[in-house]
Amino acid sequence: MDYTEFFRQLRIQKGFTHDTLANLAGVHRNTVINLEQNRQVKFKTVALLLKVMGYDQDSPEIRRIALLWLEGVSGIHFTLQEVIREKKKMDREYRKSKKSTIDLLNTTISERNLTEEKLKLLLNAVENPEIMDVLKNINTYAKKVSNSSSVDMTVE
């Protein structure tokens, strides 16, 4: 629930119309309507309207609406339920991503017929950059030899 919905509930519970509340607070009727339609309203105005409805500045209602308002303007969730919901969503996305990565790794290992020994050699090469340079040079040389052997070498 956002602060606009909560404010509307409080206003209706207290039996205030938009007009009545606006007149008692000394604000335009559209200010109350704007607040309930999630248009930008200063918290100072929200607090004034709550005070006119009879809510003390230390009441649980004003504390809750302050937190919800802050969430609304910042985009950051402060309420425990929202934090838990967001954490669970992030956990699901992480597990899904992790599973995709593991599946891709397993598929690649299987397709390339990589044994444990070959994987250890690859790991060793990655951990030692100088080995990677040697492997690149060997690969470059192998390509050159391969290209030159494709030339027709028949003797007439």
| Pick from 52, 54, 27, 55: nearest CA to 41 | 27
Query: Residue 155: its pLDDT value, please?
Result: 43
Domain range summary for the chain, segments of one domain joined by +: 3-74, 80-140
Reading the block at residue 108, the tokens are 């690649």
Eight-state DSSP code of residue 38 = T
How crowded is residue 129: how many other Cβ atoms within 10 Å of its Cβ?
8
Query: Residue 156: its pLDDT value, please?
Result: 43
> Please, what CATH class does the domain formed by 3-74 belong to?
mainly alpha
> Could you tell me the pTM of the whole model?
0.51
* Cβ–Cβ < 8 Å for 69, 43: yes
* Series of mean pLDDT values for 10-residue runs along the chain (156 residues): 89 95 96 92 93 92 89 78 79 88 90 90 85 86 77 44
Residue 77 CB partners (closer than 8 Å, separation 6+): 71, 83, 86
Quote the CA–CA distance of 63 and 104 in Å, as a whole number. 49
